[in-house]
């Protein structure tokens, strides 16, 4: 497959992808010329982005902040839920690693992926 060689080509292909998305919908046949072109171009874009714009996994601190917002929790309420002090939650939100007991509770009660909790 041809690769995107530079940012100019990448931007041009993104524009074309947008054009193709406007020409297709869920009723467009999979073997239509638009869907075939869209499939090829998005594959090229994915490859380019994985090389030049890799998405790093979130940190535990980022996920904790997100969960607090999603669950409408204050640090005090999260502390209650995890059976730790509010200052301890502040430490976790600022990047300190939790104990193993707290790590288990984060996975169990907040449904945070273990790999994020363990930083792997």
Mean pLDDT of 57-84: 95
Contact 35, 28 (CB under 8 A): yes
Q: How confident is the model at residue 1 (pLDDT cuts 50, 70, 90)?
A: low
Report the predicted TM-score, pTM, of the whole model to 2 decimal places. Answer: 0.64
Closest by CA to 65, choosing from 53, 56, 78, is: 78
Fold adopted by 60-118? 434 Repressor (Amino-terminal Domain) (1.10.260)
Q: How confident is the model at residue 2 (pLDDT cuts 50, 70, 90)?
A: confident
92-113: per-residue pLDDT in tens?
A: 999 999 999 999 999 999 999 9
**For residues 89 and 76, what is the distance between their CA atoms, to the nearest angstrom?**
8
**Helices 60-70/100-110 angle, 10° precision:** 40
Indicate the domain borders of the chain: 7-52, 60-118
């Amino acid at each position: 497959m041809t690769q995107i060689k530079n940012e100019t080509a990448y931007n041009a292909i993104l524009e074309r992808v947008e054009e193709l998305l406007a020409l297709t919908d869920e009723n467009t046949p999979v073997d239509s010329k638009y869907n075939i072109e869209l499939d090829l171009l998005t594959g090229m874009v994915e490859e380019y982005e994985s090389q030049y714009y890799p998405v790093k996994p979130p940190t535990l601190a980022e996920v904790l902040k997100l969960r607090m917002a999603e669950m409408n929790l204050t640090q005090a309420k999260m502390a209650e839920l995890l059976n730790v002090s509010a200052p301890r939650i502040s430490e976790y939100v600022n990047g300190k690693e939790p104990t193993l007991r707290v790590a288990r509770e984060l996975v169990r009660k907040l449904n945070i992926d273990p790999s994020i909790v363990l930083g792997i």
